[in-house]
Amino acid sequence: MSKKAGLICAAVATAAVLCIVPISLKRSATSGIVVSVGQAQAYYGHYRRVARRTYRHNYYYHHHY
């Protein structure tokens, strides 16, 4: 019974890590399948405000239905 519980805990932990980490699989002609980890971009302070303002301006004034 202990071995089965250990396998279940390992499977849950592996699933949790795979859900959290932004991993993407890409097919490459030269090396087959490539695994890459994505990164998020963060804007701070003034740059964040400018980026948000630009995004909203483009959405409101250049959004065509």
3-class secondary structure per residue, 6-65? HHHHHHHHHHHHHHHCCEEEEEECCCEEEEEECCCCCCCCHHHHHHHHHHHHHHHHHCCC
The number of folded domains in the chain is 1
**What's the rounded Cα separation, in Å, for the pair 30 and 34?**
10
- pLDDT for res 40: 67
Mean pLDDT of the chain: 79
**What's the rounded Cα separation, in Å, for the pair 62 and 54?**
11
pLDDT digits (tens, 9 = 90+) for 9-20: 999 998 888 788
pLDDT digits (tens, 9 = 90+) for 19-34: 887 777 778 778 787 8
What average pLDDT does range 35-47 have in this prediction? 73
The domain of 40 spans: 2-62
Residue 5 has pLDDT above 60, yes or no: yes
